[in-house]
């Protein structure tokens, strides 16, 4: 346990020194701040039936495309590129512990950025209560459900990023590949829905239905307090699957 805590502390320090992670964090917060201001203006000008929190969380995929590759691209790709991973394997450290510590640190960083982003509506409600009261704003249940889905899906996204980082020796190529994987995941639900409309009949079996793969509908359900256990299993199993693939790749690099 002490060795694992040391690994987490070391990885968090390395991530803190990474310029790419800082740029990604700044871009993430800028994108979320701009999105929140845009939605606030729209809700001020036009009456809306749905709370602003729902629209805010449904756009989570855009900044996630920026920050996940920035946090994970260089974690293993740089070590593989400059041959430091081979020297690291000489130390009495389990590969699974190293992989898990990287995932945990990047995941905690991801959740911390989202926690900071949630300060935007809190500051608006605290500094400008009349603006928040003039519209359906941020119900606590909606904010809690949205952040719960952020935490659930974020574990899967970070695992994809680590898999891509262990696959390539270039952090740039790893980041582009991670971006492509995430973009395909985000757009697959809408793509399946359009394909279903062209076919004129629903997909069989049920787990291929567009509603199941649609990230936007999943987020909407969580914000409304509807939790589909299939979604829980999908993201948790997907996290373990991509971490397992990453470990297999890193073991091959260790030989």
Residue 90 DSSP label = T
Quote the crossing angle between the two packed helices 140-167 and 229-254, to the nearest 10°. 20
- From first to last of the 255 residues of the chain, give the pLDDT tens digit: 555 454 454 555 445 446 677 787 888 888 898 998 888 888 888 777 888 888 899 889 888 888 999 888 888 877 766 666 555 555 566 777 788 888 998 999 999 999 999 999 888 888 888 877 877 888 888 999 999 999 999 999 999 999 998 888 888 888 899 999 999 988 887 776 666 666 666 555 555 565 677 888 899 999 988 888 889 999 999 999 999 999 888 877 665
Sorted by where each begins, the domain ranges of the chain are 2-254
Spatial CB neighbours of 135, under 8 Å, sequence gap ≥ 6: 43, 44, 47, 48, 52
Model pTM score: 0.84
Give CA torsion, residues 180, 108, 238, 99, to 10 deg. 90
The label of the residue with tokens 């394909």 reads: 195
């Amino acid at each position: 346990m002490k060795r694992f805590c040391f690994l987490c502390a070391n990885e968090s320090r390395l991530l803190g020194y990474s310029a790419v992670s800082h740029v990604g964090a700044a871009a993430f917060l800028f994108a979320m701040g701009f999105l929140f201001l845009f939605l606030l203006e729209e809700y001020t000008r036009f009456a809306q039936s749905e709370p602003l929190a729902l629209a805010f969380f449904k756009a989570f995929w855009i900044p996630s495309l920026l920050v996940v590759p920035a946090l994970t691209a260089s974690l293993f790709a740089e070590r593989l590129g400059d041959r430091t991973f081979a020297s690291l394997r000489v130390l009495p450290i389990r590969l699974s512990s190293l992989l898990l510590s990287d995932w945990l640190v990047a995941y905690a960083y991801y959740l911390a950025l989202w926690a900071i982003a949630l300060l935007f509506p809190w500051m608006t409600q605290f500094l400008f209560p009349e603006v928040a009261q003039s519209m359906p704003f941020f119900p606590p249940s909606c904010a809690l459900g949205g952040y719960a889905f952020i935490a659930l899906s974020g574990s899967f996204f970070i695992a994809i990023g680590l898999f891509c980082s262990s696959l390539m020796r270039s952090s740039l190529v790893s980041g582009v590949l991670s971006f492509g994987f995430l973009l395909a995941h985000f757009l697959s639900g809408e793509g399946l829905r359009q394909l279903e409309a062209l076919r004129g009949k629903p997909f069989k079996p049920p787990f291929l239905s567009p509603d199941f793969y649609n990230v936007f509908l999943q987020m909407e359900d969580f914000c409304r307090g509807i939790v589909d256990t299939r979604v829980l299993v999908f993201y948790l199993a997907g996290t373990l699957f991509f971490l397992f693939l990453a470990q297999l790749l890193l073991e091959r690099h260790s030989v």
